[in-house]
A and B are shown apart, each in its own frame.
Chain A
């Protein structure tokens, strides 16, 4: 009989100890397992600096955003470096351009990320192109004889500020989904961005109106959304076909066409060689513009709205310089 209380007490002590152990273990596990707590920032990786900028516009200081491709780098040919695997390993949300722009490097990165949150189709995988206006979706037979053609349409769609609204809205929906507690904050940031972008659009529209219908040539098919929005006409490309470097024959044809149509402007993405465009400009009396298609393409451009400010100012000053007139 005497043993029982002793045993009983002992058991109580042990079970009490177990409870505290269990509790502390639970706390530990929860700390590990919780999505880094409600207070900490949401880790976002965007494949390009444009998407990173839009995510920052909506997410503000509640998100921490990193971009993979630099704005001065050809986004088709990014290397799948292991350092990017580390970025994806830690992130809660991956925002990508889609339309097969990143087909050469993003799939292996996602696969090796060991991150179930951002696998294709998971909650933290956001293809920014889903609601955007996409141009040049091929119809009919497509073959690689057309060069490195994108079967799902031209992936440079962020260069239309209207698509900027759409992308930002998708980002907002995703951020709210992942951090419902911050809904009000994100919605307020989004409304603010919408306002700024809409105002800027009015400004750009006014600036560009006198130059509607101006012809120009671009190196790669990076700018259809831009020219479409601002009423410019692309009459040729330095590349004979997407992804195929210029050939002498094609260059000659292009020079003749530019002379015939009095085209003076050649837009070149910062990652292409300027030799051929310069030669074309010499022949035609035209001007080569190193025209950033992305945030970060030149140092001055650090966000999405600045990108259009820079590009439009650059274009207008060049138009004035060469005295191009709409056809």
Chain B
């Protein structure tokens, strides 16, 4: 029923209610000219009400018969009620056409479920490593992601990392992609924009592990990952793509930063420059800075400076068969601690070459001092071979030789199965 119709009905009922006592009073009294007039009006009103009722009864009957016809024609088609994906739901990730309904209160709301994917990361290790041993076999991480557009102004992304024993919120943030001033605002828990390796999730790394410089200076696998705000802005200029990001975090990133009171925030800044060299190759450079309190005790701070370089080559015509990526990242750490300031340095250089549609090979050289003692220096070499049976699974082997500062040498063979189910995520770049 339309709103105006409902209003009319309401008015009619209200008038009838108001007039009812009046009618009683009129019957008791001796008829007077005023009473005659009132009864005349009353009769008129009654007549109007009657016609109204008749029209509505007719309409209701019509509607009921139509409903019945609809039900009878729909009933034999499917036993379960179904919802239809709107034609414009591109990127919703779901199948088009009829979706089954599982007894929810509102069937259509399922269309708005986030894109869900789970990525399994199974790791194995052979050989010996007395300094930093990893288990022989391990379901290292199962990452569940939930991603959706929130409203016309924002989107939300959640990444839950299920280890063998516990669950960890790897990332969970809201992004406002189009706020005034050309800003990209994020709020929540995030992997910070320090360098190139730190923001990457495990499953998009080109190796089974993270480089030694990440382990020693930038907090290892967790890295600088914390709750806070991030603001990034493009810096328009006629020459290159330039993006500056500023981030403020609570100050807790185990292994790097530790917050003792509310004021102990940590800060990360990143400047990224990118330029296409040809249509097939490009250069990506970045400079990063991070500051925060460290685990040496209240009042002690750490500063991290980073530089990263990436060169990519991928001929467009043969894009799915050949590619080459060279990466390097350098990190300087300045850490205040009880015995004074420690300045440590580390870096890695790596190259990955795709030589067939599903095959990648890679090398990496690692060299890094340790944040708390620069005289301890670790060095490593890796050879990597990766095979992709399909876009959704990956098998990788890595030979790694590490010379630890303790004087121990470790030769290891690491292997990894990665497999992804659910929504198709974006390809990393």
Contact = CB atoms under 8 A, between A and B. Distances in A.
A232 interface: no
Given A74-B319, A81-B276, A147-B390, A107 B426 contact: yes
Interface string B172-187: 0001011000111000
Given A81-B429, A100-B424, A122 B95 contact: no
B96 A152 contact: yes
A113 B276 contact: no
Interface string A105-126: 1011011111110011110000
Contacts of A151: 93-96
A83 B240 CA distance: 8
B21 interface: no
B178 A119 contact: yes
A70 interface: yes
A103 interface: yes
B251 to A, nearest CB: 27
Interface in B280-328: 282, 284, 312, 314, 316-321
A77 B320 CA distance: 7
Interface string B256-286: 0000000000000000101110010010100
How big is chain B's contact interface, by range?
35 or more
A80 B96 CA distance: 26
Nearest to A143: B421
Contacts of A271: 316-320
A129 B178 contact: no
A115 B241 contact: no
A79 B427 contact: yes
Contacts of A120: 90-91, 149
A193 interface: no
A113 B424 contact: no
Interface in A88-111: 89, 96, 98-100, 103-105, 107-108, 110-111
Contacts of A108: 426, 429
B95 A142 contact: yes
Nearest to B181: A114
Contacts of B110: none
Contacts of A121: 88, 149, 152
A83 B243 CA distance: 11
B427 A82 contact: no
Nearest to B154: A119
B427 A152 contact: no
A89 B182 contact: yes
B317 to A, nearest CB: 5
Contact of A73 (B96, B234, B319): B319
Contacts of B274: 81-83
A228 interface: no
Contacts of B390: 144, 147-148, 243-244
Given A103-B91, A137-B96, A148-B391, A79 B320 contact: no
Contact of A98 (B90, B241, B316, B318): B90
Nearest to A272: B320
Given A119-B177, A153-B96, A129 B90 contact: yes
A83 B427 contact: no
Interface in B138-189: 149, 152, 155, 175, 177-178, 182-184
Contact of A74 (B94, B183, B234, B320): B320
A47 B177 CA distance: 20
Interface of A: 70, 72-74, 77-83, 85-86, 89, 96, 98-100, 103-105, 107-108, 110-116, 119-122, 127, 129-130, 137-139, 142, 144, 147-148, 151-153, 243-245, 270-273
- 9 A-B pairs closest in CB distance: A116-B178, A82-B274, A82-B241, A151-B95, A73-B316, A104-B427, A80-B429, A114-B182, A98-B90
